[in-house]
């Protein structure tokens, strides 16, 4: 049955109902648009303060990382200074055994051996502390998204500390001359 069969009144009623529904939808859309504008304006109002807070937090985090980096560099320098002034001709037996175990037979507990060696030998301990603290700093840098330049600075000290530690372990194991 076409609209002409139902009559013009029916067609008019249908058109009028669609018009009213469209008007309701238009009012709802307008109200939603106004709410969205108010929300956007409120968010824009908060952005500068939040931006400053983020910048302050990043600066604080970077300062904290730099402080930790300085401390790690001091541990590395302390280990090198102790190494130069130790005057040891050869490592003691316990140090040799720990170093050899660490280097060649770590088994299931390499960290435990590393820490025992670092505790036994203060020079190795200084190098290990530089490695341990910079490893923690690298994790913080990644977690906080502080950038690759800072990461590279910390990683350089981490690698230098590890090289110094393993070099010391090889000396303690009796593999290299002082």
Q: What is the pLDDT of residues 130-155, one digit of tens each?
A: 999 999 999 999 998 888 899 999 99
- What integer pLDDT is reported at residue 2 of this predicted model? 58
| Interval 65-91: pLDDT, tens | 999 999 999 999 999 999 888 877 778
User: Which of the four pLDDT bands, split at 50, 70 and 90, describes residue 123?
Assistant: very high
- What integer pLDDT is reported at residue 137 of this predicted model? 95
Cα distances (angstroms) measured from residue 166 to each of 104, 131, 178: 12, 11, 14
Query: pTM of this prediction?
Result: 0.72
Look at residue 33 and tell me whether its pLDDT is greater than 60.
yes
Q: Domain extents for the chain? A: 3-172
What percent of the chain lies above the pLDDT cut of 70? 96
Cα distances (angstroms) measured from residue 173 to each of 35, 79, 90, 177: 73, 18, 10, 10
Q: Give the torsion through C-alpha atoms of 134, 97, 173, 169, to 10 deg.
A: 0
Cα distances (angstroms) measured from residue 51 to each of 38, 40, 79, 132: 20, 16, 42, 33
Going 146 to 149 to 150 to 151, the CA torsion angle's sign is: positive
CB 61 within 8 A of CB 144: yes
Look at residue 3 and tell me whether its pLDDT is greater than 70.
no
């Amino acid at each position: 049955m076409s609209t002409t069969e139902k009559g013009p009144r029916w067609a008019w009623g249908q058109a009028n109902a669609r018009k009213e529904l469209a008007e309701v939808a238009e009012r709802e859309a307008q109200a939603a648009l106004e709410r969205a504008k108010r929300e956007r304006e409120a968010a824009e109002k908060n952005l500068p303060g939040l931006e400053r807070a983020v910048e302050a937090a990043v600066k604080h985090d970077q300062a904290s990382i730099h402080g930790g980096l300085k401390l790690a560099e001091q541990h590395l320098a302390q280990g090198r200074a102790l190494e130069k002034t130790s005057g040891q001709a050869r490592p003691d037996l316990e140090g040799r055994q720990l170093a050899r175990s660490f280097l060649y037979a770590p088994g299931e507990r390499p960290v435990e051996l590393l820490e025992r060696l670092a505790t036994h030998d203060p020079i190795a301990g200084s190098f290990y502390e530089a490695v341990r603290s910079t490893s923690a700093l690298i994790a913080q840098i990644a977690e906080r998204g502080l950038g690759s330049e800072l990461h590279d600075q910390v990683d350089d000290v981490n690698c230098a500390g590890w090289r110094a530690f393993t070099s010391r372990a090889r000396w303690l194991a009796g593999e290299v001359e002082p």
